[in-house]
Amino acid sequence: MKIYRVFILFITLLVLVLFCVADEGMWPMSEISKLNLRDKGLEIPPEEIYNPDGLSLIYAVVNVGATGSFVSPDGLIITNHHVAYGSVQAASTKEKDYIRHGFLARNLSDEIPAQGRTARIIDSFRDVSEEVLSVVEPGMSYADRTKAVERKIKDIVKREEKQHPGKRAEVAEMFSGKTYVLFLYTYLRDIRLVYVPPRSIGEFGGETDNWMWPRHTGDFSFMRAYVAPDGSPADYSPDNVPFHPKKYLRIAPEGVREGDFVFILGYPGRTYRHRTSYFLSFEEEIRMPYVVDWYQWQIDIIQKIGEKDRGIAIKHLSRIKGLSNTMKNYRGKLVGMERLDMTAKKRAEEENMQKFIDADGNLKAKYGDLLEKIGEVFRDMRQNAESELLLDYLPRSVIMLYFATTVYEAAHELRKPDLERESAYMDRNFPRLKQRLALYLRNYFEPTDKIVLKEILLRAFRLPEGQRIKALEEIIGGRTEGDIEIFIKNVFEKSRLDKEAILMKALEMSPDELYEMNDPFIQLAAALYPVFQEQKEKDRTRKGILDELRAKLIDVKQEYLKKDFIPDANGTLRLTYGRIRGYSPRDAVWYNPITTLEGVIEKTTGKEPFDTPEKIFSLYKERNFGRFAHPGLKTVPVCILYDMDTTGGNSGSPVLNARGELIGVNFDRAYEATINDFGWSDSYSRSIGVDIRYVLWVTQKYGGVNTLLRELGIDVSQ
């Protein structure tokens, strides 16, 4: 009996050691030396991951919209299929449908520009909190506080870019209103497509499987970064040459097994774990349901528009993908929040903290009304939420209005001194903005814009009495559906902003010149300009108030919980670590952490999104797995699941083994893990990657691109 108990204890300890290494945490590089990663399973010195004085793995990680990594000395980048998607779509036509058939360059000269794409590489970073906050003075209005901080950040950026020619400086807010870090980056601007599998592999399972486990998607693609012959970053030119990164990742073609230690380096976008219950309930009750409803409406209508003509469908692919991705993510979050009772739990934590504050005279004087004041801001946001949300989504949803509002704003902003402009219109950013608009124009399809504008105007007219947007009603000249229809017919008939040359010229015009243009969309933008300006000022005031309060909140939380925190994700480089690990989504259900080719075959119905290329079937039947079969499973692994802490922006991140070698490419999270952005759960927080063995198998056996495997250092003779 005793031996039996000892045995149970041993097994329990083993399970604890094996599985409880994962922890909440998207760690900034400055923190990783404190993590004792060697004890958790890392087999290389942590300095090989990040070393402020030397070469380390972080130089192999790039930001290509989301994350990617260098995997060869010649600038080859691996990322997700869905990260490269926009560029693949932009290069696709009905005749050359790279989304449907994939894209393959057999040699360098076949590689084509990944339009609109840049690769950002980190050079260095340092804390500049003191300098940024030196401009905050007691007695400042909240809007002025926000403006002063914004202005200071621009000063720092300008100074640093002058001191480091060719680099881009960016200041990231780590803790709201409290800590700021200056990053210096190199931006490579000539990025090309190398190999992209067809949709039936790269997007297998489509929206049905998105945010789901078990997963069987080959969500990867290869791109390459180019530079001028002298090695400097340059725009596309046929004379450019492949970039040689300081560091690239070694690949481990043998992959991983369940329980293995793994880590990710990447650029997680945004998390909100330090926010209050007021924020959570606003998201849960107001903002996310609004977005889900609005996006679903757009998806349904846009899908119908593209049903009959592939050329039209192609124009809309990225948009539908983006809308669906966010919509399903929000649905997942809403389910998860309810299931875990997240808002109520946060509120209970806050109540306990309030008791702690109230029990100490000093704390009470400093922080006594902190939570209450944060609550006030959210109460104010709730008052006009519907019209504020509509205004926010109006130019984002109607492309012509987006053009017009940008043109109109540019006319005003470009006339100010550089440092006083909104960031997008500063000299350092404006060329990119113009480029983005030109790319948008390629996907512009007037009938879609008309339908969307009509619907959003109808919704505007249904706003409750106190929230009506008078400027809209005035310019439309009535409140009925008929008035809207006449208005829409007129604006689309007369506007010329859908002509690239005119749009680009308009972006440089003064307000007077714009007035002369007599363009009805510009007139609409002009009518809405004061409304948008007023909203911006409101947002600045709210940010000013919240920045100050959130900074205090972190201070008091530190005193209350007696621990340090790491900042929420904010698009800066982070590390997360954990293990290949399954989970239980519901009672009596256990999900294994590795899927295989068998699952691809099982799921295949022959119909989108579960269609599989014939060649994959024959390779499977022949059991032609090359060197990429899992030794235990005796087949090719497809996707892996792990308990690491990721979010949007981590798409395309390298998944590395204990020796820092590439074993997968992160691309998604399980449905229950969509709540990750608000809170970590050891039971549910699971992320998904495509297994490197599937990447290599598809590239070699399906794509037939041995050259690429050789470039990756993989012996293809085996």
| Location of structure tokens 């990750």 | 676
- Measured from the Cβ of residue 36, the count of other Cβ atoms closer than 10 Å reads 10
Catalytic residue among 219, 260, 643, 677: 219
The catalytic residue among 72, 81, 82, 495 is 82
| Residue 667 binds ligand ASP, judged by CB under 6 A | yes
Q: CA angle 531-534-537, nearest 5°?
A: 150
Q: Which stretch binds ligand ASP (CB under 6 A): 157-165, 354-362, 666-674, 691-699?
A: 666-674
Task: Give whichever of 73 and 322 is closer to ligand ASP, judged by the CB atom.
Answer: 322
Residue 392 annotated in active site: no
Residue nearest to ligand ASP (CB): 648
Q: Is 318 in the site for ligand ASP (CB under 6 A)?
A: no
Under the criterion CB under 6 A, does residue 669 sit at the interface with ligand ASP?
yes
How many helices (H) and strands (E) would you count in the chain?
27, 19
What's the closest the beta carbon of residue 219 comes to ligand ASP, in angstroms? Answer: 8
DSSP per-residue letters across 451-499 = HHHHHHHHHHHTS-GGG--HHHHHHHTSSSHHHHHHHHHHHHHH--TTS
The only residue of 240, 650, 653, 699 in contact with ligand ASP, by rule CB under 6 A: 650
Query: Where in 228-247 is the site for ligand ASP (CB under 6 A)?
Result: none
- To ligand ASP, the closest distance from the beta carbon of 652 in angstroms equals 9
Exposed, middle or buried by CB within 10 Å (0-12, 13-18, 19+), for 637? buried
Distance CA 322, CA 466 (A): 33
Distance, in Å, from the CA atom of 90 to the CA atom of 283, rounded to the nearest integer, reads 33
What is the rounded CA–CA span in Å between residue 582 and residue 214? Answer: 10
Among 298, 324, 646, 653, binds ligand ASP (CB under 6 A): 646
Tokens representing residue 665 in the block: 């490419």
**325 near ligand ASP (CB under 6 A):** yes
| Residue 257 beta carbon to ligand ASP: minimum distance, rounded to whole angstroms | 23
> Is residue 224 classed as helix, strand or coil in its secondary structure?
strand
Q: Which stretch binds ligand ASP (CB under 6 A): 92-100, 132-140, 532-540, 667-675?
A: 667-675
Nearest approach in angstroms of CB 708 to ligand ASP is 24
On whether the CB atoms of residues 419 and 158 are closer than 8 A, the answer is yes
| Nearest distance from C-beta of residue 647 to ligand ASP, angstroms | 5
Active site residue 82: yes
State how far the Cα of 370 lies from the Cα of 375, in Å rounded to an integer: 9
Residues contacting residue 559 through CB under 8 Å, at least 6 positions apart: 363
User: Which residue stretch of 125-133, 187-195, 436-444, 648-656 sits at the interface with ligand ASP (rule: CB under 6 A)?
Assistant: 648-656
Give whole-number Cα distances, 167 to 42, 132, 186, 685, in Å.
33, 20, 5, 36
Give 65 or 613: the residue with its C-beta nearer to ligand ASP: 65
Contact flag: residue 180 with ligand ASP (CB under 6 A): no
Site for ligand ASP contains 651 (CB under 6 A): yes
HSE (side-chain half, CA atoms, 13 Å) at 218: 31
Nearest-5° Cα angle at 515, 512 to 521: 140
Instruction: Give least dist CB 80 to ligand ASP, A.
Output: 8
Residue nearer to ligand ASP on the CB measure, 49 or 83: 83
Stretch 97-126: interaction string toward ligand ASP, x if CB under 6 A: ------------------------------
Q: What Å distances lie between residue 561 and 20, 272, 556, 566, CA to CA?
A: 22, 18, 9, 14
Nearer to ligand ASP, 75 or 689 (CB): 689
In the bound state with ligand ASP, the residue whose beta carbon lies nearer, of 368 and 609, is 609
Nearest residue (CB) to ligand ASP, 179 versus 647: 647
Residue 390 vs 644, nearer CB to ligand ASP: 644
Nearer to ligand ASP, 186 or 298 (CB): 298
- Count residues binding ligand ASP (CB under 6 A): 9
What is residue 593's DSSP assignment? S
Instruction: Say whether 651 is catalytic.
Output: yes
Cα distance between residue 404 and residue 402, in whole Å: 5
Active-site pick, 92, 281, 387, 651: 651
Q: Is 647 in the site for ligand ASP (CB under 6 A)?
A: yes
Interacting residues toward ligand ASP by CB under 6 A: 325, 646-648, 650-651, 667-669
Name the residues annotated as catalytic. Answer: 82, 219, 651
